[in-house]
Amino acid sequence: MKKIFIVFVTSVFALASCSDWTKPEALDYTHKTFEDSDPSGYAAYLESVRNYKNTDHKVVILNMKGTDAYPVSQSQVLMAMPDSADFICVNNLENLHPEFVKQIPLVKEKKGTSVLSAADFSVAYADYIDHKILLADNGKPAPAIDECKAYFKTHAQKQLEYCGQYSFEGVIVSFTGTLINDEDKAGMSGFMEAVSEWRAAHKDKLFMMRGNLNLLEDKSILADAKYLILVMGGDKGVTALRSKIRSVLSRIDQKDRIVFETVTPSVAEPNPGGETVYDGAEDIIKLGDYVSGGATYKTLGLAVSNANDDYFNDSYFLADDIKKERPVFYGSFVNIRRGINYLAANAK
């Protein structure tokens, strides 16, 4: 019993002694952002970003997916996109989540980045094919030509309405279709008719055109586009850039506002076949002002078709690392940020 009593007393003494010099302290394990840890430094940095966008430089346009669910990944957050990008174009616009929408003005205010909505002919075309299949399944005839035109016009109007609904600064209109038959022509005619009407009523909005612009029946609307975006697809290299210019813009008057659209690696496609962002940056610098047939074509920047996929890339490999055994770590959005840095350092 004596031993037990001594141990008890000793324990109490030890506890009493510790209370004299031990004070509880709350530990903060939360990650502090640049904005939280150095507000004045962050504000100065953002000012430099906005000032950069007011200089004469090669522009960068990022395409990303919108979401109707609460953004759970940084790849779904507008403010998380690379700071030095000039424009962000949002696809998947139906029922955008309020948390996504509220960042549209915020990214402009803080970074000077303009956020635009997409109006895409290929989206309308996919829905039209589903519409035809549904009609056939119900034993009904395919739409007549005038019905086809009306369908595409209505679809374009719906897409264009998202610009005002979510307070985007403008629209990038994409036409990547073909004109093989009368139905194709009717679809293009209806879609572009809606675009022309929208543009006439919204001259205060930013406006760009993308895709197979040489196939448009009425090319007068191109004069109103800030940039003409040429999609590289599976083509790459300076020779391919020249070929794309000739095939799409040789009969278009606006030759001074070209942007080439590139791709970035993704989890699903780590080695994309087309022109990648960094290679595209190198190639448009090599291309310079391209002269063909007495006309001078000016390349003003790059677009990235799948910018949100680059968030999941955090390293790249040097050209001599064929086996890809020595990754060079660079952080998220590695390809886009490397491309922007290259353009900023090498553009005249």
Percentage of the chain with pLDDT > 90?
Answer: 81
Whether pTM > 0.95 for this model: the answer is no
Average pLDDT over residues 233-249: 95
Average pLDDT over residues 195-214: 97
Q: In the chain, what are the domains?
A: 57-346 (3.20.20.80)
Average pLDDT over residues 156-185: 96
Does position 9 have pLDDT exceeding 50, yes or no?
no
Does position 242 have pLDDT exceeding 90, yes or no?
yes
Average pLDDT over residues 323-341: 92
CA distances from 89 to 4, 232, 274 (A): 75, 18, 20
The pLDDT tens digits for 70-128 are 999 999 999 999 999 999 999 999 999 999 999 999 999 999 999 999 999 999 999 99
Does position 16 have pLDDT exceeding 80, yes or no?
no
Long-range contacts of 343-347 (CB under 8 A, 24+ apart): 343/57, 343/58, 343/60, 343/281, 343/284, 343/285, 343/301, 343/302, 344/52, 344/57, 344/58, 344/84, 346/281, 346/285, 347/57, 347/58, 347/285
Cβ-contact 208, 173 below 8 angstroms: yes
CA distances from 269 to 230, 266, 272, 278, 334 (A): 22, 5, 6, 16, 16
CA distances from 236 to 48, 230, 240 (A): 33, 12, 5
| Token code pair at residue 143 | 């739409």
Number of C-alpha atoms within 13 angstroms, CB side, residue 321? 9
Does position 3 have pLDDT exceeding 70, yes or no?
no
- Terminus-to-terminus CA distance in the chain, angstroms? 90
**pLDDT (0 to 100) of residue 33:** 66
Average pLDDT over residues 229-248: 96
Model confidence band, residue 40 (pLDDT cutoffs 50, 70, 90): confident
**pLDDT (0 to 100) of residue 21:** 52
Average pLDDT over residues 295-313: 96
Average pLDDT over residues 262-281: 94
Average pLDDT over residues 44-55: 94
Does position 271 have pLDDT exceeding 70, yes or no?
yes
- Written as one letter, the residue type at 266 is S
Cα 73 to Cα 109: distance, rounded to the nearest angstrom: 22
Tally of residues, the chain: 348
**pLDDT (0 to 100) of residue 31:** 54
The pLDDT tens digits for 141-155 are 999 999 999 999 999
Q: Residue 59 contacts by C-beta under 8 Å, 6 or more apart in sequence? A: 86, 87, 227, 259, 300, 301, 302
**pLDDT (0 to 100) of residue 35:** 67
Q: Which of 258, 277, 256, 257 is nearest to 266 (CA)?
A: 277
Number of neighbours of residue 36 by Cβ within 10 angstroms? 10
